[in-house]
């Protein structure tokens, strides 16, 4: 029994050293993880801001279709104005340009909403 009593304190110090070493290693591993989490949060925040700014600068499909219609009317108006010839219909070119102006106004109002 005396041999066990004498060896116990001798080995107890080694056990304490091992436990201390494991706890120190665990502490440093946790610090690395927290700094990595902070870095990842900053990156996610930057990407989120970038996506938000891109969403503000893009058009929806509906707005894009309205822009196409608007440009179509503007081109038609320019063609009629440039040609300014007698169109073989019952509508005079000036009346047709006024109709295009009305349509352009309607589409621009929709885009402003």
Of 5, 26, 23, 25, nearest to 15 by C-alpha is: 23
Longest Cα–Cα distance of the chain, Å, equals 125
pTM for the model stands at: 0.37
DSSP one-letter string for 30-98: HHHHHHHHHHHHHHHHHHHHHHHHHHHT---HHHHHHHHHHHHHHHHHHHHHHH-PPPSSSS-HHHHHH
Which string of b and e fits 64-81 if b means at least 16 CB within 10 Å? eebeeebeebeeebeebe
Q: Please tell me the distance from the alpha carbon of residue 81 to that of residue 97, in angstroms, as a whole number.
A: 8
What's CA 84's distance to the chain center, in Å?
A: 48
pLDDT in tens, the chain (113 residues): 455 555 666 677 777 888 888 888 777 766 667 778 888 899 999 999 998 888 777 777 888 888 898 999 888 887 877 666 555 556 677 777 888 889 889 988 888 87
Residues in the chain: 113
């Amino acid at each position: 029994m005396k041999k066990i009593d004498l060896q116990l304190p001798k080995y107890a110090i080694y056990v304490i050293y091992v436990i201390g070493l494991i706890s120190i290693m665990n502490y440093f591993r946790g610090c690395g993880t927290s700094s990595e989490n902070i870095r990842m949060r900053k990156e996610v925040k930057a990407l989120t801001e970038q996506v938000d700014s891109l969403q503000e600068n893009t058009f929806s499909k509906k707005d894009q279709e309205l822009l196409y219609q608007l440009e179509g009317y503007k081109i038609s108006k320019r063609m009629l104005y440039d040609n300014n010839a007698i169109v073989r219909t019952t509508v005079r070119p000036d009346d047709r340009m006024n109709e295009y102006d009305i349509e352009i106004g309607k589409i621009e109002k929709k885009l402003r909403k």
